[in-house]
Amino acid sequence: MQAVKNYRIALCAFGTIMLFFLIRSSSNASSTVSTSNNAHNSIIKPEIPQDLAPNVNILPVSAEPGYITDEVTDKGNSEVADAVKEYVNSQVAIVSAAATTDVVGAPSASSVSSSSSSKNSGSKSSESGALCTKDHQYVVMIDAGSTGSRVHVYEFDVCTQPPTLIHETFEMLKPGLSSFDTDAVGAAKSLDPLLKVAMETIPESFRGCTPVAVKATAGLRLLGETKATKILGAVRQHLEKDYPFAVVEGEGISMMSGDEEGVYAWITTNYLLGNIGADEKIPTAAVFDLGGGSTQIVFEPTFKGNEKLIDGEHKYELEFGGESYDLYQFSHLGYGLMQGRNKVNALLVENAIKEGKIVEGDVENKHTLVSPCLPPGTSVSNEKVKLTSGKEYHINFKGPVTAAGPQCRFLADKVLNKDAKCSQKPCSFNGVHQPSLVKTFKETNDLYVFSYFYDRTRPLGMPLSFTLNELADLARMVCNGEEVWESVFAGIDGSVEELQKEPQWCLDLSFQVSLLHTGYDIPLHRELKTAQTIDNNEIGWCLGASLPLLEGSNWKCRVNQL
């Protein structure tokens, strides 16, 4: 009996001891968990090495989902970085909503912060990562060309770098400012229909802070400085007095130099193609712009070894989107399509004067001449032909008995003055230095031709990409006359009617082939691309000239809007 009692006492003591150790173990475990949960609060943030400080952000460990920002890595693979950030921010919002809402449903401070971060991550922001709250910015750019004026109304998102073009409104009218000659006030008021488009496009509250610029090109330059200055002064006065827009100071209303015209067109084209302003420098396209009074060429040549683009008026150093570009550019004044027409017709008149068919100085009477640059059976009445002497003759041209396309090309080649002295070799035409497009511009890089190149090819059924040889074939078919037109262009709506209305398209296309092949030395097999728009945005110099206005350094918002 005594043995049983002792057994019970021993068992009870053993149980008490085990219970004591169990309680103590549990207490220690709880303390360990608590320490673990709060460990991140006591971690000391390591110092950032000085050579990494600008690029690396070292954060303490957090219990919440997150990521470490590294600008260099983000730029290297921006799509992956953006996807990770978007996913992590969504998880932060979910965790915060579930874990930090109290019993009555009121969110804590941390859940409000997480919600705000999630919202910011879906917003378009600047490079610094801060939320951008800037309004969209409008720009009005008027192109006062030689044959007509055009308005471009641009809407930009300025929260991106470079700014993103959201929308473009475009309208044009004829005639151009230069047609008003001495009527400066009439020239200024001729822009009213275009400015009405701008007024209707831009919300009233934005008009006072919308810059407007008017840039005149070759046509106004040909009028002479006195007349051109008077017209531009009237335009500025009309804008400042009768419209609410912020008129750009200084060169805002001015004759644009040829080099600016070409470079701005290059910026427009490569900006819309995504070739500039990208994460890395990539090959760019060359541009050839054919206006009425002048033609421009701009491209980025590449040289072997230590060769580089030689200095001169043709060299244009451009900074855009953090990259540097050494561009070759040149504006050939007097070699636009309408001026090219006149030069070819002037050769015919000068030859007729030499042969005695026209009395020199007889500018009162109309004269009749045969032109190899017209299709057989066609004619042009009362064409005004201005010679280098300044005298203007009135000519009725008629086509030859049979097609004479090659003879037209001969005349077009001749006006390019290819034999002029070349001081800095190699040269294109008229003695102007130009790096070889064959040697310094890769065949894989695009050649874009636009303006009159587009206007004379697209209506005749040419695709947006063709070889220079195919352009020569088109010129030949147009010069062959109406019998060929009915056969070749029958399936192209409106093309035959266009050629019947304007038979000088034979001359225009022949001049274009000569300019590209003989003038710029582009091989006949080389592919050309043409377009009127890229991504539904008008091609030309206007967009390239509008982008710098977003900086706002040369215009101020109007306080008193009309």
Q: Which of 97, 121, 145 is the last residue of a domain?
A: 121
- The predicted model gives 310-330 an average pLDDT of 91
Same domain for 146 and 236, yes or no, is yes
Same domain for 79 and 203, yes or no, is no
Better pLDDT: 251 or 109: 251
Structural domains of the chain, count? 3
Same domain for 151 and 244, yes or no, is yes
Same domain for 305 and 252, yes or no, is no
Domain around 192 = 137-256+545-551
Given a cut of 90, whether residue 161 has pLDDT beyond it is: no
Q: Which of 64, 88, 121 is the last residue of a domain?
A: 121
Alpha-carbon distance of 252 to 212, in angstroms, equals 8
User: What CATH number is associated with residue 500?
Assistant: 3.30.420.150
Q: Binding site for ATP, residues?
A: 292-296
Judge if the upstream peptide bond of residue 426 is cis by omega within 30 degrees of 0. yes
Q: Could you tell me the CA-to-CA distances from 459 to 63, 463, 496, 546 in Å, in that order? A: 66, 10, 10, 29
With cut-offs at 50, 70 and 90, classify the pLDDT of residue 366.
Answer: very high
- The predicted model gives 143-160 an average pLDDT of 92
Alpha-carbon distance of 39 to 405, in angstroms, equals 88
Alpha-carbon distance of 543 to 323, in angstroms, equals 19
- Enumerate residues 6+ apart whose C-beta is below 8 A from 51: none
User: What CATH number is associated with residue 183?
Assistant: 3.30.420.40
Q: Would you say residue 117 lies in a domain?
A: yes
- The predicted model gives 237-266 an average pLDDT of 93
Given a cut of 50, whether residue 558 has pLDDT beyond it is: yes
Alpha-carbon distance of 214 to 140, in angstroms, equals 9
Half-sphere exposure of 385 (CA within 13 A, CB side): 29
Better pLDDT: 560 or 369: 369
Query: Going along 443-516, which residue ranges are E strands?
Result: 447-451, 465-467
Better pLDDT: 19 or 328: 328
φ, ψ for residue 11, nearest 5 deg: -65, -40
Q: Annotated catalytic sites, by residue?
A: 261
Same domain for 417 and 505, yes or no, is yes
What would the pLDDT profile of 69-81 be if each residue is shown by its tens digit? 666 556 566 665 6
DSSP three-state, residue 406: helix
> Where is mean pLDDT largest: 71-85, 299-313, 314-328, 498-512?
498-512
Q: Are the C-beta atoms of 321 and 276 separated by less than 8 Å?
A: yes
Same domain for 319 and 430, yes or no, is yes
Given a cut of 90, whether residue 44 has pLDDT beyond it is: no
Same domain for 236 and 278, yes or no, is no
- The predicted model gives 198-215 an average pLDDT of 97
Given a cut of 70, whether residue 109 has pLDDT beyond it is: no
Q: Whole-prediction pTM value?
A: 0.69
Same domain for 150 and 251, yes or no, is yes
Same domain for 475 and 440, yes or no, is yes
